[in-house]
Amino acid sequence: MLKKILIANRGEIALRVHRACQEMGIRTVAVHSTADASAMHVRLADESVCIGPPLARDSYLNVAAILSAAAITGADAIHPGYGFLSENARFAEMVEAHGLTFIGPTADHIHMMGDKIAAKDAMRKLNVPLVPGSPGALESFEEAREIAERIKYPVLIKAAAGGGGRGMKVARSAEELEEAWQVARTEAKAAFGNDAVYMEKYLDRPRHIELQILADTHGNVVHFGERDCSLQRRHQKLVEEAGSPALTAAERNALGAQVTAGLRQLGYRNAGTLEFLYQDGQFAFIEMNTRLQVEHPVTEMVCGVDLVREQIRIAAGEKLGYGQEDVQFNGHAIECRVTAEDPESFAPSPGRVNTYHAPGGLGVRVDSALYSGYAVPPHYDSLVAKLIVHAPSRPQAIARMQRALDEMVVDGIKTTLPLHRRIMADAEFQSGDYTIHWLERFVARG
Ligand code: ADP
């Protein structure tokens, strides 16, 4: 078993990994920027190393500093969390080249799935259904126009290296296509240093449904059901549920069987999430994330599994030790992402938190690195807390979330707590009948 893990991340996810390590008797090394010297992940870790100035590219993305920190502390593995270096194939490769264990998939699989065109190709070969679109990268504007006419508007131009909803532009007509083509490529180049783009049919009322899987290095692949992440703003998730209010157990099992068989064939290892759009009873693959997801806790609550613990066990070469039939789905879980943002304009609101009070009680979980007196730095992602509830049914989970939201206090900065209270109280949300476009309209209504 691994003895000491360096956690190459910050905030709630660094704490999340630390907690799993503690329970497994594994020592932890925190890394931090100068802006995070008094952060909770640094306070709780067994050891910590400062890896650079506040800007992420100089610290949390600084591969040489992170590898040096692992060497001087004698860590034997690195957990990348999500974001930062978690989907950087080169980093995974370098970690292993330095004789350390990378807690995640192989560099080859990270590389393959990080290129969305290659990922779709791989899924096509495994007979996983895809959103109709261009067969590969668009070579020219003329090709884009031809394909758009064939698959019919509206269409979406997406960055091959995309992430976080960037480099994605909708064109509703031939007139809009030229601009979408230009803007998507410029954005993709600026954000990812790669202007390769492809086209998909823009679905008008899909849900975002994703499947959590775990694979060990002995050929065992198991899925942990779906998460419904349709509540999004600018293609970014705000609220997630497990399971989906729209899916039957038979649909879940059929998709799960197909996906696990495919990944077994690929020889995939560790945790992964396959994202689909779901409309009119059909699934269409959009991308695979080769890491732990922000919303993994809703799956943990419903399945009673510690996904980080499983990631560590898999990285240490252990067998899963259970099969698909052992995975049970109990009740319903919901997660609200609480960010340091104005709940109406979504302008960032970093600064000092005067009072922080976390809700509690049966079925309530808070994953957060906040504490009273903590100053949220302006340099990083605005996520400050994930509030997760679990209850026997969806209506009970909603009631529990409303109760927990009312108890929670983050005073001194603006947060999205008021927006979450409004969503939970909304009759349409409560009915479960929503698509990926619902939240945008809900926010606009005010
Ligand atoms: P990113 O990696 O940037 O997050 P994704 O491919 O995962 O990009 O898509 C993010 C979100 O964008 C999806 O959850 C969905 O809401 C929307 N989206 C992506 N592809 C389509 C599509 N073909 N039609 C409609 N919406 C889409």
Same domain, 356 and 214: yes
Same domain, 168 and 316: no
Find the 286 Cα to ligand 1 centroid distance in Å.
Answer: 7
Same domain, 211 and 290: yes
User: How many other β-carbons are positioned within 10 Å of the β-carbon of residue 267?
Assistant: 14
Output the pLDDT for position 167: 84
227 pocket-lining for ligand 1 (C-beta < 6 Å): no
Tell the residue nearest (CA) to atom 18 of ligand 1: 235
Specify the ligand 1 atom closest to the Cα of 131: 23
Output the pLDDT for position 366: 98
Specify the ligand 1 atom closest to the Cα of 165: 3
Residue 412 lies in a domain: yes
From 155, 185, 201, the end of a domain falls on 201
Tell the residue nearest (CA) to atom 6 of ligand 1: 286
Residues of the domain holding 419: 207-444
3-state secondary structure 372-387: CCCEECCCCCCEEEEE
Residue 431 lies in a domain: yes
Output the pLDDT for position 163: 86
Find the 133 Cα to ligand 1 centroid distance in Å.
Answer: 13
3-state secondary structure 130-189: ECCECCCCCCCHHHHHHHHHHHCCCEEEEECCCCCCCCEEEECCHHHHHHHHHHHHHHHH
From 201, 218, 236, the end of a domain falls on 201
pLDDT in tens, the chain (446 residues): 899 999 999 999 999 999 999 999 999 999 999 999 999 999 999 999 999 999 999 999 999 999 999 999 999 999 999 999 999 999 999 999 999 999 999 999 999 999 999 999 999 999 999 999 999 999 999 999 999 999 999 999 999 998 888 889 999 999 999 999 999 999 999 999 999 999 999 999 999 999 999 999 999 999 999 999 999 999 999 999 999 999 999 999 999 999 999 999 999 999 999 999 999 999 999 999 999 999 999 999 999 999 999 999 999 999 999 999 999 999 999 999 999 999 999 999 999 999 999 999 999 999 999 999 999 999 999 999 999 999 999 999 999 999 999 999 999 999 999 999 999 999 999 999 999 999 999 999 88
Output the pLDDT for position 446: 83
199 pocket-lining for ligand 1 (C-beta < 6 Å): no
Tell the residue nearest (CA) to atom 22 of ligand 1: 202
Pocket test for ligand 1, best of 436, 437, 441 (most atoms within 8 A of CB): 436
CATH number, domain containing residue 63: 3.40.50.20
Q: Within 307-413, where are the H helices?
A: 307-315, 394-407
Output the pLDDT for position 114: 95
Tell the residue nearest (CA) to atom 20 of ligand 1: 286
Same domain, 243 and 320: yes
| Residue 366 β-bridge partners | 387
SS3 89: helix
Same domain, 228 and 304: yes
Specify the ligand 1 atom closest to the Cα of 229: 14
170 pocket-lining for ligand 1 (C-beta < 6 Å): no
- Catalytic member of 166, 269, 291, 337: 291
Residue 102 lies in a domain: no
Tell the residue nearest (CA) to atom 23 of ligand 1: 202
Same domain, 291 and 380: yes
CATH number, domain containing residue 212: 3.30.470.20
Same domain, 216 and 328: yes
273 pocket-lining for ligand 1 (C-beta < 6 Å): no
Find the 150 Cα to ligand 1 centroid distance in Å.
Answer: 21
Tally DSSP H helices, then E strands, for the chain: 15, 20
Separation CA 379–CA 376 (nearest Å): 9
Q: How many domains does the chain have?
A: 3
β-pairing, 236-242 with 351-352? Answer: unpaired
CATH number, domain containing residue 156: 3.30.1490.20
Find the 326 Cα to ligand 1 centroid distance in Å.
Answer: 32
The length of the chain, given as a count of residues: 446
402 contacts: CB under 8 Å, gap ≥ 6:
421, 424, 425
200 pocket-lining for ligand 1 (C-beta < 6 Å): yes
Same domain, 338 and 427: yes
From 201, 218, 253, the end of a domain falls on 201
User: How many other β-carbons are positioned within 10 Å of the β-carbon of residue 107?
Assistant: 20
Residue 291 annotated among the catalytic residues of the structure = yes
User: CA angle, corner 289, sides to 284 and 295, nearest 5?
Assistant: 95
Same domain, 243 and 373: yes
User: What are the structure tokens assigned to 293, written together?
Assistant: 């997801």
Find the 165 Cα to ligand 1 centroid distance in Å.
Answer: 7
